[in-house]
Amino acid sequence: MLLEEFRWKSEVLESTEPVLVDFWATWCPPCRAMNPVIAALAADYKVCKVNVDKHQELARRYQISSIPALLLFKQGEVVARFNGVTSENTLRNELQRWR
């Protein structure tokens, strides 16, 4: 789900389930490489995508200095953070841990 900033609170911070948030940009080749992984995870888990060019304030708030950056939220708190290309198994294991 592409996430707009006005939905951040309801979709991420107030979610009752873990949420994986993918901070990305259209010009970022590693971000594009992560698309199949993100799509596969979205079939089983709640996943949101935040375009850092459109939502710079969110990126600053969570200190996103390089992309792709993936943050796992549980009950409104960041419980895990992954920078760069990350394997589906690594992400799936972490999501399962917090489910």
Q: pLDDT by residue (tens digit) across 22-81?
A: 999 999 999 999 999 999 999 999 999 999 999 999 999 999 999 999 999 999 999 999
At position 18, the amino acid (one-letter code) is P
Specify the number of domains making up the chain.
Answer: 1
The pTM (predicted TM-score) of the whole model is 0.92
Quick check: is 63 in a domain? yes
- Is 48 annotated in the active site? no
3 state SS of 50 = strand
Quick check: is 95 in a domain? no
ω into 68 cis (within 30 of 0): yes
C-alpha–C-alpha distance, residues 53 and 26, integer Å: 9
Angle at 6 between CA 4 and CA 10, to 5 degrees: 100
Domain span holding position 51: 5-84
Residue in 25, 28, 40, 42 annotated catalytic? 28
Quick check: is 93 in a domain? no
Quick check: is 70 in a domain? yes
Quick check: is 99 in a domain? no
Contacts of 40-45 with C-beta under 8 Å, sequence gap 24+, read 40/88, 41/88, 41/91, 41/92, 41/95, 42/1, 44/92, 44/95, 45/17, 45/18, 45/20, 45/95, 45/99
Q: What is the CATH number of the domain that holds 78?
A: 3.40.30.10
Quick check: is 89 in a domain? no
Residue in 12, 21, 31, 95 annotated catalytic? 31
- Is 28 annotated in the active site? yes
Q: pLDDT by residue (tens digit) across 53-67?
A: 999 999 999 999 999
Quick check: is 68 in a domain? yes
Quick check: is 97 in a domain? no
